[in-house]
Structure formats: structure tokens, C-alpha cells
């Protein structure tokens, strides 16, 4: 266990999606993809409070419609069935039928009401679902609570990702140890809100669905909605969380004395996953964190940070280890936030580059050497207010083009 910045929250280095009490998982290869697992499931042994947020793209895949209906039925879920390799998006009425069929097959296998099952898909848009691979194999998903099962699930949701993304934290609430864990995928088409990403978060905290939704919205705005890879938004994006209540704390609300501990736990888990997604951008070699202070308000700070980290010119400069601060300040200027052209400070790591919009002497060699690291920090102070925010992204490399020119083949 490693202490995070929030001393009350402990990072569980070996925790997984099944570490919170009540949860099991499974994943397997069915042949939808050539090699890696492509079908997965999360299961809770009790009805769990559920909340989800979805892509802002007006073109939304059939599984999102089904999941929205499931959660709206009563705010409780017991299972999520997920496939990768096929997005089941832009597939018309047949796509909706297939999504409902996946839900029904999973519910029957687990002896659950259909509305307690969510459905999620990711992969190529516009292809009919290979139901002959998916449906017969749902019964072959052997749920378990061990690391192997969690890893199998983590692999089952990947597309162009280079590896699985998992995070787990614990905190004490009402004298009870509460665990929060997540598993995510995302590598390209990442421009929240949200990106071509899926994130599944489990917790054993006791909380009602409406309060869970409130907490998830706040956490997502500060994490998944602050990452960008390439400026595109997919049709299938979803972050879904389930709370089993097995920690037996008093039900959480904003009035609860430990509400901020719970929201901090959720935000830290989501932030870890979000940064893993940004780091694993298609072809990426570096994680870029942009922090903006002195903005008019926090929203404007995040807006400016996302504009900087999403700039193709900034991203290519980082890839090429070129400390070209002109690209950074130009991104601030076109971000649409309130700024004074004469008061902007810019630093690269610990190296000041600009003060009050005036160039400072710095070593090009030192700055270029810094940009050779895998983790890059860019700091900007607008000096017009008290707002602050962060955003995460990655560099833009030749491999991004290579990966996306051959995605279907």
C-alpha cells in the first residue's frame, strides 16, 4: 500500500476490479478479435447502486441505449457484459436487437432480471455484431475473485491499447474500510467528453444511486473529461460505477461527514485510470500534464489546459524534444479563456520559460533534455484570477499515423 497525497486514501498496488467486496469478473477470447480476449463480465452478488455517464457524441451505439434503460429501471445493476473488437455502432435496428440479446443472454446465464444487466461494446464502427461468437460463449465466462479473473476482464475490453489499465484505493469511512477499484480502456479517439474509452469502477461503499451519480459526475469532470489524445470523440464511451454496499457504512450523501473522503476516493481512482489512458495514447511515448493557475475560474483553467495538451503543435514539439514555448502561449491565446496578453507565465518542468509574457533566458539543452523524459509537466499561470485546473495528454508520433491507417486491417 502506498499513501497518496490525500493521507486518508491508500493506493492498493495489487488491488483489482474484484477487490471491493461482492464483485467477480471474467474474460475470454471468442474469436471476435484475432488474439486477445474480447468478451468480459463484471458481476456483483447483490443488487448494486449504479451510475453511468456517456459520450457526448450525438451518434451513440446501441449498447448505450440498453445500459441507460437498465439503470433507469431502478438504479441497480448486478452485471455488465462487455465485448471488444466490434462497437455495435451505426448498425440500425439489428444493432439494438443484438445489444438486447446480449443483455438477455447474460441475465439468463446469471438468473437475473434483464434490467439489472448493462451492456457495453467497443471496436470497429458499422459492422454487424458477430453474435455467433458472443452469445454461445457467455456461458463460458467463469466468474472469479482472483487476480487472473481480473486480468482476463481487463484484457477483454482493450482495442488498440498496449496494455490493461487498473487502479485500486481504500479509505476509512464510518470506521469501515471502503475499497474502490477500476478497470479501463482507451488509446485513440480520446477527446472528452469523453473519448473512445470505457471505464468500470466498483466499490463496496453504501450509497444510493442518485448520490453515486452526483459523485461520479464530479469525479469525471475532473479526470476523464480532462484527457485528450487526438481530438476525436467516439460513439461508445461510457464510465460506469457499481456500489455493493458491503462495507456497511452509513449511506453516503453530501451531508455525511465522510462525503469528501468518498468523493476523493472516487476521484483518485478515476484520475489514475485517466492518466493511464492518456499515457497509452496511440503511438505515444510520453505523458503530458498541463497545469493552469491564475485563471478566471476553475472551468476556464481546465479549458486552457485541455487546449494546450490537445494542440498538435505542442504534442509534436514534446515528441521532438523541442522547447518551443511559442506553441504553448499560442494555444492559450486561442483557447477562448479570459487572459491578459501581458501577464502569462510558462514553465517546463522546473524550468521557467516566460514571465509576464516576456521570454526568460534558459538553457535549450537543459529544456530539451527534460523533454526526453516519459513524464512531462507544463505549467501556465494566467495571473487574472484564482482558478486552477489540470489536463492530461500525450505526444503525437509517427506511430499514431501508422496505427490508424491500418486499424481495420
pLDDT tens per residue across span 54-89? 987 788 899 999 999 999 999 999 999 999 999 999
For the stretch 118-146, pLDDT in tens is 999 998 889 999 999 999 999 999 999 99
Q: pLDDT tens, 234-258? A: 678 899 999 999 999 999 999 999 9
Residue 206, phi then psi, degrees to nearest 5: -95, 120
Residue 395 pLDDT exceeds 60: yes
CB 273 within 8 A of CB 165: yes
| Mean pLDDT, rounded, of the chain | 91
3-state helix, strand, coil in the chain (%, to 5): 35, 30, 40
| 196 part of the active site | yes
Q: Give the residue range(s) of CATH 3.60.70.12 domains in the chain.
A: 2-272
Give residue 39's pLDDT.
98
Q: Provide the pairing of β-strand 238-243 with 198-203.
A: parallel
The model's confidence at residue 161, banded by pLDDT at 50, 70 and 90, is confident
Cis peptide bond prior to 194, omega within 30° of 0? yes
Determine the average pLDDT of the residues in 273-293.
Answer: 88
Name the segment(s) of the chain with CATH classification 3.10.20.340: 287-405
Q: What is the pTM (predicted TM-score) of this model?
A: 0.85
Quick one: how far is CA 295 from the chain centroid?
25
pLDDT reading at 5 higher than 70: no
The predicted model gives 266-287 an average pLDDT of: 89
What pLDDT is attached to residue 196? 60
DSSP letter for 99, please.
H
Buried/exposed 106-134: b ≥16 CB within 10 Å, e otherwise:
bbebbebebbbbbbbbbbebebebbbebb
Average pLDDT (40-55) is 96
Fold of 287-405: Ubiquitin-like (UB roll) (3.10.20)
**DSSP per residue over 28-68, as a string?**
E--SSSSSS--EEEEEEEEEEEEEEEE---SS--HHHHHHH
Quick one: cell of 33? Answer: 478479435
3-class secondary-structure state, position 85: strand
Burial 59-91 (b: 16+ CB within 10 A, else e): ebbbbbbbbeebbeeebbbbbbbbbbbbbbbeb
The more confidently predicted of residues 314 and 283 is: 314
Structure confidence at residue 233 (pLDDT): 64
Q: Tell me the percentage of the chain whose pLDDT exceeds 90.
A: 80
| Residue 148, pLDDT score | 97
- Band of the pLDDT at 398, cuts 50, 70, 90? confident
The answer, yes or no, to whether residue 278 has pLDDT greater than 50, is: yes
Task: Classify 174 as helix, strand or coil.
Answer: coil
Q: In this model, does residue 183 exceed pLDDT 90? A: yes
Res 165: pLDDT: 94
For residue 47, pLDDT beyond 90: yes
Per-residue model confidence as pLDDT tens digits over 190-240 = 344 433 689 999 999 999 999 999 999 999 999 988 887 655 566 788 999
| Residue 114 pLDDT | 98
Determine the average pLDDT of the residues in 319-338: 95
pLDDT surpasses 70 at 1 = no
Q: What is the DSSP string of 296-334?
A: SSHHHHHHHHHHHHH-HHHHHHHHTT---HHHHHHHHHH
For residue 257, count other CB atoms closer than 10 A to its CB. 9
Confidence category of residue 158, pLDDT binned at 50, 70, 90: very high
Residue count of the chain = 409
Mean predicted confidence (pLDDT) in 312-330: 94
Catalytic residue among 19, 116, 159, 196: 196
What Cα–Cα distance (Å) separates residue 188 from each residue in 13, 62, 196, 278, 401? 26, 21, 7, 9, 11
CA 163 – CA 280 distance, rounded (Å) = 8
Helix (H, G, I), strand (E, B) or coil at 24: strand
Q: Rounded CA gap, 144 and 147, in Å?
A: 9
Contact predicate 195/186, CB 8 Å: yes
Place of cell 457495453: 120
Q: Which residues contact 333 (CB under 8 A, 6 or more apart)?
A: 339, 341
Q: What is the reported pLDDT for 188?
A: 43
Reply yes or no on domain 2-272 having CATH 3.40.50.300: no
Amino acid at each position: 500500500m502506498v499513501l497518496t497525497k490525500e493521507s486518508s486514501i491508500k493506493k492498493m498496488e495489487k488491488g483489482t476490479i474484484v477487490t471491493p467486496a461482492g464483485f467477480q469478473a471474467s474474460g475470454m477470447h471468442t474469436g471476435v478479435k484475432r488474439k486477445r480476449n474480447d468478451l468480459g463480465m463484471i458481476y456483483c452478488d447483490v443488487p448494486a447502486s449504479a451510475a453511468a455517464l456517456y459520450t457526448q457524441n450525438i451518434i451513440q451505439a446501441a449498447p448505450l441505449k440498453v445500459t441507460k434503460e437498465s439503470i433507469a429501471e431502478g438504479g441497480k445493476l448486478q452485471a455488465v457484459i462487455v465485448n471488444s473488437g466490434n462497437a455495435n455502432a451505426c448498425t440500425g435496428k439489428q444493432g439494438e436487437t443484438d445489444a438486447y440479446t446480449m443483455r438477455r443472454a447474460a441475465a439468463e446465464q446469471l438468473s437475473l432480471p434483464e434490467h439489472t444487466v448493462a451492456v457495453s461494446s467497443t471496436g470497429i464502427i458499422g459492422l454487424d455484431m458477430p453474435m455467433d461468437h458472443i452469445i454461445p460463449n457467455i456461458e463460458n465466462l467463469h466468474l472469479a475473485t482472483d487476480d487472473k479473473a481480473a486480468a482476463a476482464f481487463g484484457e477483454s475490453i482493450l482495442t488498440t491499447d498496449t496494455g490493461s489499465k487498473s487502479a485500486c484505493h481504500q479509505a476509512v469511512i464510518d470506521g469501515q474500510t471502503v475499497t474502490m477499484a477500476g478497470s479501463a480502456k482507451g488509446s485513440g479517439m480520446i477527446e472528452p467528453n469523453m473519448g473512445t474509452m470505457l471505464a468500470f469502477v466498483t466499490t463496496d461503499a453504501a450509497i444510493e444511486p442518485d448520490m453515486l451519480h452526483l459523485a461520479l459526475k464530479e469525479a469525471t469532470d475532473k479526470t476523464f473529461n480532462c484527457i485528450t489524445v487526438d481530438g476525436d470523440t467516439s460513439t461508445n464511451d461510457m464510465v460506469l460505477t457499481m456500489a455493493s454496499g458491503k462495507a456497511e457504512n452509513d449511506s453516503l450523501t453530501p451531508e455525511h461527514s465522510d462525503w469528501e473522503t468518498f468523493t476523493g476516493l472516487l476521484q483518485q481512482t478515476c484520475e489514475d485510470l485517466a492518466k493511464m489512458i492518456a499515457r497509452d495514447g496511440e503511438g505515444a511515448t510520453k505523458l503530458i500534464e498541463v497545469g493552469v493557475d491564475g485563471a478566471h475560474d476553475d472551468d476556464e483553467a481546465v479549458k486552457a489546459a485541455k487546449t494546450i495538451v490537445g494542440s498538435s503543435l505542442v504534442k509534436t514539439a514534446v515528441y521532438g524534444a523541442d522547447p518551443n514555448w511559442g506553441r504553448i502561449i499560442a494555444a492559450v491565446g486561442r483557447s477562448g479563456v479570459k487572459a491578459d496578453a501581458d501577464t502569462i507565465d510558462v514553465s517546463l518542468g522546473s524550468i521557467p520559460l516566460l514571465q509576464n509574457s516576456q521570454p526568460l533566458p534558459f538553457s535549450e539543452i537543459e529544456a530539451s533534455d527534460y523533454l526526453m523524459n516519459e513524464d512531462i509537466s507544463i505549467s501556465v499561470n494566467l495571473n487574472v484570477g484564482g482558478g486552477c485546473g489540470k489536463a492530461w495528454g500525450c505526444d503525437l508520433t509517427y506511430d499514431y499515423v501508422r496505427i490508424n491507417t491500418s486499424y481495420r486491417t
